[in-house]
Amino acid sequence: MGEKNNFSKESLLLKPVAKYFRRKSFRWQREELPFYEHRVDLYGFSRVNELTIAVELKLYKWQRAFEQAILYQLCADHVYIAMPVNSIGRVDIDLLKTHGIGLLAIGNAGRCRQILGSEQSTVVCDNYKEIYVNILTNGEGHKW
Amino acid sequence: MVDPKVIIRMGSHAEKDYIEKTARYLDGIIVAANLFEATQGATASLLGKKLNKPYYIDPMTYAYGRNLDLIKSPQGKTGKSDFKRSYKELGDKLSLPFTSALQKNSRLTPKDFEDSLKVEESCKAVIEYQLNRIKESFDEDPEYKEYAAEIPNPEAIYAPYFYIEPDSPSAWLDLVLLLAKVSAGLEYKVPIHAIICTDEVMLEHNNFLSKIKKELPKTGVEGVWFWLSDFDELTSDVKRLKAFRSLVEDVSGEMEVYSLHGGYFSLSLCKYGLSGISHGVGYGEKKSVVPVQGAATPTVRYHLPDFHKRMGVPAIQRCFDGLKIKTPDDFHKKICDCVVCKGVVSKELSEFSLFGSMAYSTPISKRLAQTPAAAKRCRFHFLMNRIRERDELKKLDLAGILAKFESVEKKWSEQISVKNDMTHIRTWREALA
């Protein structure tokens, strides 16, 4: 284990990450979006570029986040793992890079910073994306 | 080498449709006696007339030797905890000492079988229950009464059995062996089989296994069904799998050997003498002696034929690109071409998601649950594949099975989303080699 995080639970990571993506034009957002047996911690849609993002939040277990992120590439154009900055050191950045998954670090003051950019998913399925964009834009998501 | 049998264990009457539609491909049906008592008319007509397949009735005697709270549930308007009606009625039918266990609210132990006369009476009652229960049920029903005499006997009759507890295995094993011996000695015209039910941890106890190998054949039973509580073929290690293989190999020289709650690994032990497996319709390839209580309906996942394992839809779908699966045709060639998959994935590859469809089951549900239609697709697909696996194993020799495992590892090795789901293939390869 690395240094102790200021974040006691995953949900505390949500606010800074949601704010970060709002700044990046992903103004339609939904938390805990079900994807089969999983729940995408944050799913977002940008009208500006017609792109979607899925974010998996984790305090420590980046491998588990990676397993989920790989699956979310089926339903989002870009997928990120977001972790407290103190946990980032343990992450296998090369593995994430190989699979096009982005990484965000959340500082103790709640500021979110991109460590690794995400690549456009090559396996995103239009049917999933359409369903989720509809959910977000037809009243079940938040528009900011 | 034995041609292995696949015997389906009916878990509830809701599964009747699956069993009726696939019955012609199956080798038999097994029903737990408590389920029979809960739904006796319907089960009797299904087993005794409609299916026309070999059948078995698991007498469930072990439940009376466990913590009796496990067979209780809230009853009536008061909601007071009491014995489930099915176990009460079964206890009455099995007579002493089962009835007295319920009356005294005290579980059975080896001490309850110290009187040899009582042991014989008890064995007779358990055997006759299995032999006559369906006939009795037909006799009680004016519509079916005329068929009562034509009801076939069960394929085999189980001797009473109990869970051999790991903290006192000798006393319980001695009792189970005694009950098997006495039952076999009663000379009914139907083969008598034993059930050896214990914890999977006992696979590491050589003395215990040696005793079974040595003493079981002396009982005179014609078959044995192994049930290792919580033994999961998919996560178990090579040591335990090899111990199970050795148990099957050694005992099968003397009698028929079955796995009561087994999957593909057990089935492949037909190359070491196993006669068959039983499991439920899309579940039950492992089972704990502690029943699941009050849990939500489990999701029936997609049985991935290459892995002989049920998995979530997205983990498989994530591999399509890497495996160069672009069309339904590719899917049928590389994943599954059973009749169910050909029907579901027919126009577009994305139709594969129909195996995982989820919805809110009620307007107030907070969690998504698998839709009944998706569960049905997965169950039928599983049954069709299990039948195919059985038929393939009849043709393959051991080298062929191992070669197939090797090619599966090669095919999927680069697929990151299933990396952790295929470790059992290597373990099985080592355990079977």
Q: What's the length of chain B?
A: 433
For chains A and B, count residue pairs whose Cβ atoms are closer than 8 Å.
35
Tens digit of each residue's pLDDT (9 = 90 or more) over B223-234: 999 999 999 999
What pLDDT is recorded for position A2?
47
Q: What was the pLDDT predicted at B180?
A: 98
Q: Is residue A3 part of a domain?
A: no
Which residues in chain A have their CB less than 8 angstroms from residue B420's CB? 67
Contact predicate A80/A99, CB 8 Å = no
Answer yes or no: do B350 and A127 touch at CB < 8 A. Answer: yes
Which of B67-76, B389-398, B418-427 is predicted with the least confidence, judged by mean pLDDT?
A: B67-76
Average of per-residue pLDDT values in chain B: 94
* Chain B residues touching A37 at Cβ < 8 A: 299, 312
Which pLDDT value is given to residue B284? 86
Taking the Cβ of residue A36 and every Cβ of chain B, the question of whether any pair is shorter than 8 Å is answered with: yes
Of the candidates A36, A99, A127, the beta carbon closest to that of B314 is on A36
Question: How far, in Å, CA of B380 to CA of B338, rounded?
Answer: 10
Do B321 and A123 make contact, defined as CB atoms within 8 angstroms?
yes
Kind and range of the H or E element at B55? strand B55-58
Q: Is A30 on the interface with B (CB under 8 A)?
A: no
**Interatomic CA distance for residues B296 and B294, integer angstroms:** 7
The residues, any chain, with a CB within 8 Å of residue B253's CB and separated by 6 or more, are: B273
Q: Which two tokens stand for residue B226?
A: 């192994």
Q: Is the pLDDT confidence value at B205 over 70?
A: yes
The ipTM is 0.91
Cβ neighbours, 10 Å, residue A127: 13
Mean of the pLDDT values across residues B334-359? 95
Q: Is residue A125 part of a domain?
A: yes
Residues of B in contact with A99 (CB under 8 A): 416
DSSP B332: H
- What does each of the 144 residues of chain A score in pLDDT, given as a tens digit? 445 567 778 888 999 999 999 999 999 999 999 999 999 999 999 999 999 999 999 999 999 999 999 999 999 999 999 999 999 999 999 999 999 999 999 998 889 999 999 999 999 999 999 999 998 888 666 655
Say what the pLDDT of residue A110 is: 84
For residue A123, the enclosing domain spans 11-139
Residue B148: predicted pLDDT: 86
- Whether residue B267 contacts residue B389, with contact meaning beta carbons closer than 8 Å, is answered with yes
Supply the pLDDT for residue A96.
97
User: Pick from B227, B293, B73, B48: which is nearest to B146 by CA?
Assistant: B48
E strand or H helix that includes residue B302? strand B302-304
B26/B4 Cα distance (integer angstroms): 11
Number of domains in chain A: 1
User: CB distance from A71 to chain B under 8 Å?
Assistant: yes
Say if A122 is an interface residue toward chain B (CB within 8 Å): yes
By the CB < 8 Å criterion, does A94 face chain B? Answer: no
Nearest of A114, A104, A8, A2 to residue A56 by alpha carbon: A104
Q: Is some CB atom of chain B closer than 8 A to the CB atom of A123?
A: yes
Residue-wise pLDDT for B248-296, tens only, equals 999 999 999 999 999 999 999 999 999 999 999 988 899 999 987 766 6
Q: Is A131 on the interface with B (CB under 8 A)?
A: no
- The answer to whether the Cα torsion of A13, A14, A19, A24 is positive or negative is positive
Mean predicted confidence (pLDDT) in B154-165: 98
Q: Which residue has the tokens 């790989």?
A: A70
Domain range B5-279, CATH architecture: Alpha-Beta Barrel (3.20)
Q: Average pLDDT, stretch B345-351?
A: 96
A5 domain-assigned: no
Decide if A22 touches B, using CB distance below 8 A: no
A35 touches chain B (CB under 8 A): yes
Percentage of residues of chain B with pLDDT beyond 70: 99
All residues of chain B having their beta carbon less than 8 Å from the beta carbon of residue A35 are 314
Contact across the interface for B313 and A122, Cβ inside 8 Å: no
The total of other beta-carbon atoms located within 10 Å of residue B207's CB is: 8
Q: Which residues contact B373 (CB under 8 A, 6 or more apart)?
A: B354, B357
> Quick check: is A2 in a domain?
no
Select from A36, A70, A99 the Cβ nearest to the Cβ of B312: A36
> What letter represents residue A109's amino acid?
A
**B348: nearest CA partner in chain A:** A127
pLDDT of residue A144: 59
Secondary structure letter of residue B107 according to DSSP: -
Say whether B368 and A127 touch across the interface (CB within 8 A).
no
Q: Which residue has the tokens 């089935």?
A: B267
Residue ranges of domains in chain B = 5-279, 302-432
Cβ(A108)–Cβ(A27) under 8 Å?
no
Do A100 and A119 contact (CB within 8 A), yes or no? Answer: yes
Domain of residue A50, CATH code: 3.40.1350
pLDDT per residue as tens digits for the range B44-99: 888 888 888 999 999 999 999 999 999 998 888 888 888 999 999 999 999 889 99
pLDDT at B314 over 70: yes
Of B52-56, B79-83, B207-211, B241-245, the least confident: B79-83
CB neighbourhood size of B311 (10 A): 17
Give the separation between CA B230 and CA B285, rounded to whole angstroms. Answer: 10
Q: How far apart are CA A95 and CA B211, in angstroms?
A: 51
